[in-house]
Amino acid sequence: MMNGVKGKGIAPWRVYLAYAVMAMLALVYIGRLFQLQILQGEVYRQAAYNNRIEIANVPAPRGIIYDRNGFQLVRNIPAFNVYVTAAELPDSEAEVEAILQRLAELTGVPLDKEGPPAAKCVPGRGIRQLVAEGSSLAPYEPWPVACDVDETTARILREWQTDMPGVSVEPVPVRDYTTGALTAAVIGYMGPIPAALEDEYRELGFDPSRDKIGYSGIEFSYQQVLAGQNGRKRVEVDVAGKRVREVGDVVQPTPGQSVRLTIDSRLQAAAETALRNRMEFINRYAGEERTPIGVVIAINPQTGEILAMVSLPTYENNRFARFIPADYYRQLERNRRGRPLINHAISGEFPPGSTFKLVTAIGILNEGVVTPQQTIFDPGKITITNKYFPNDPGKAKDFVCWKKDGHGNVNFVQAIAFSCNVYFYKVGGGYPGDIPGDGLGIQRIGMYARALGYGAPLGIDLPGEEDGLIPDPDWKRINLGESWSTGDTYNATTGQGFVLATPLQVLNSVATIGNGGRVMWPHLVSEILDGEGNVVERIQPRVQWDLTDGVLTPGTPDLIVDPQAIALTRQGMLMVTSDPEGTAYKYARLETISSAGKTGTGEFCDDVAQEQNLCQPGNWPTHAWYAAFAPFENPEIAVVAFIYNGGEGAVTSGPVVKQVLEAYFTLKAIDAANQG
């Protein structure tokens, strides 16, 4: 004891409290370790394994597309891409610079070029920028710096790979459209999976960063058939994301199935040549691009098989095979008159003109509006009272025939052969002294139009088919806020006024009359094949409805067409080409094979015509139509030609159809000789 002060130690309770806290902490840590390692050990082991294992997507080869004769319209060819894996580049900046300069020299990609962010393989950036992009986004993944290099460059780079660490060359399959623009409207093209659909396609096994899907044409319609099923493999990665090795079994990809089309590429080429030459002749003669759009379609009337389908202007779908070039795509979109990306054969809606008279012809005979022998006088012009409601006093309105002096007295068959406007005006809308009441009338015109395939899509196996327009009083009131007039019916009778149709619908109506009344399903695919070329599925021809069998036709309750009405209509169409006064006799008659057809000259006044000040009262511009089938006795082909602003149908489109029919029978004879 010093200075009388007694010493003090740590109070025992403090020591016990410290031991207790330490014990509690130990118990907590032990409990937590027990929970993590024993109770939840398997969960975390699996999570660690999953972090170590990555599921890699193995692409499936896409199916091939053939024409009806086995010619490859679309195939897969290897394209060579050059990749740089940033993490595998040398540490020396000088060595990296040398590698990048060598890549720029060999591939033609600029060494240094700033550009906006874009999808892989889209040009516009330099080698340095692409490598920096790959380094920041995926340093351990090969990043493309040059796509679709030629095979010689690819071989050189592969030989130099040992001296260029981090650089690799890999073949990737791309679509090769062997017929290019010739069949682009039918085949279509492919593009990257849109961001809005990425989740949907991931669930289907696609890799949105790599895989492409069909955007139009057969590539779109048969996407699920052609695409196949991607495979999978497990890949071990390290903590930095670098792939170390494959683990476990690989689920091999299932190749896509191939398809055989009904198209004959030889006939397609003949049709395209005939149409293009005619359009170029018109434009040269006019000294300007007078006709920017043309269509030719050929079909087998007995089966609905499309033998040829040409839509001009077209585009080069091979330019979309690697990526979709923005400049080229904008160029196509700027062509507002021609709209090359649209298949006008199924998506273009135009006034069908006198080709629509076949609808009225079937209707007036079937409904007893006239008899076949009954003659109606055509003076060249008639004047009607145009009324908007029953008590309307109306105003006088003239309707004229294309033949200024008229055709005189004509019967049913002659009216079709000579395309007599006044005859069809009178029987379609009524005329005092000749046809009592309203004649066939707009409601029954609509009924027979729908029976022949107008006013609704026909269901062809291509995207983008439009339905055309068969107007009636309700439609006009709803859409234009106006009442139906007498003149509207007269116009509709001859395929004018508000009536619109696609070239496929016009062709379908002619093919239906040609085969005796069966509306066939138009289609482009005949067979689905496996990778070995074996037939997996045959696409059978399908009768959508028959006008003569009493089975209900869409939108036409209780309609049964007398086969005699169809037979007499066919006779009129035969006279179109066989009678010297027939509208197509001079321009579309075949020398050795009988054919039957119908000409059409459809007046129009669309936005483009208005901008060019072409819509002059009494002198509107006209589309040129001609549709025909052959041989007359047992048709095996029907063809339609449509030329926008082409003038008179017989003169402009008649020769095109004639050339296509001649090409068809010539090819048939050649095939028969080769088989013999």
Alpha-helical segments (H) within 390-539: 412-418, 421-429, 441-451, 473-480, 486-493, 503-514
Q: In the numeric block, which tokens belong to residue 291?
A: 């006709």
- Residue 124, token pair as written in the block: 């516009």
pLDDT (mean) for 158-169: 86
Q: Please tell me the chain's helix, strand, coil percentages from 3-state DSSP, rounded to the nearest 5.
A: 40, 20, 40
Q: Tell me: pLDDT of 8 over 80.
A: no
Q: How far apart are alpha carbons 434 and 410 in whole angstroms?
A: 12
Cα separation of the two ends of the chain:
135
What would the pLDDT profile of 462-473 be if each residue is shown by its tens digit?
Answer: 999 999 999 999
Confidence of residue 56 (pLDDT cuts 50, 70, 90): low
Q: pLDDT band at residue 35, thresholds of 50, 70 and 90?
A: low
Residue 118 has pLDDT above 70, yes or no: yes
The H helix count followed by the E strand count for the chain is: 24, 23
Lowest-confidence segment of 322-336, 458-472, 640-654 by average pLDDT: 322-336
**Portion of the chain with pLDDT greater than 70, in percent:** 91
Instruction: Note the residue count of the chain.
Output: 676
Q: What pLDDT is recorded for position 322? A: 81
pLDDT tens for 525-553 read 999 999 888 999 999 999 999 999 867 66
- Type of residue numbered 320: F
DSSP line for 194-213:
PGGGHHHHHHTT--TTT-EE
Indicate the pTM of the whole model: 0.88
> Does residue 41 carry a pLDDT above 70?
no
Single out the residue of 498, 495, 510, 499 nearest to residue 353, CA to CA: 495
What pLDDT shows up at residue 247?
A: 58
> For the chain, what percent of residues have pLDDT higher than 90?
60
Instruction: Give the model's pLDDT for residue 245.
Output: 57
| H helix intervals, 356-485 | 357-366, 412-418, 421-429, 441-451, 473-480
Rounded CA gap, 620 and 598, in Å?
A: 21
Tokens of 529: 């094949």
What pLDDT digit, counting tens, does each position of 618-628 carry? 778 999 999 99
Which residue in the block uniquely carries the two structure tokens 């005329």?
Answer: 431
| Burial of 580 from C-beta contacts in 10 A (0-12 / 13-18 / 19+) | exposed
What structural domains does the chain harbor? 49-78+172-261 (3.90.1310.10), 80-164 (no CATH), 265-675 (3.40.710.10)
Which pLDDT score is estimated for 2?
A: 45
pLDDT, tens digit, for every residue of 424-456? 999 999 999 999 999 999 999 999 999 999 999
Distance of alpha carbon 426 from alpha carbon 380, whole angstroms: 12
* Structure tokens belonging to residue 439: 């004649």
Q: Say what angle helices 441-451 and 486-493 make with each other, to 10 degrees.
A: 30
Which of the residue ranges 199-213, 334-348, 486-500, 610-624 would you say has the lowest mean pLDDT? 610-624
Question: Residue 5: pLDDT above 50?
Answer: no
Query: What pLDDT, on a 0 to 100 scale, did the predictor assign at position 18?
Result: 77
What average pLDDT does this structure show over 60-89? 92
Q: What sign does the dihedral 201-205-209-215 (CA atoms) show?
A: negative
- Rg of the Cα trace of the chain? 36
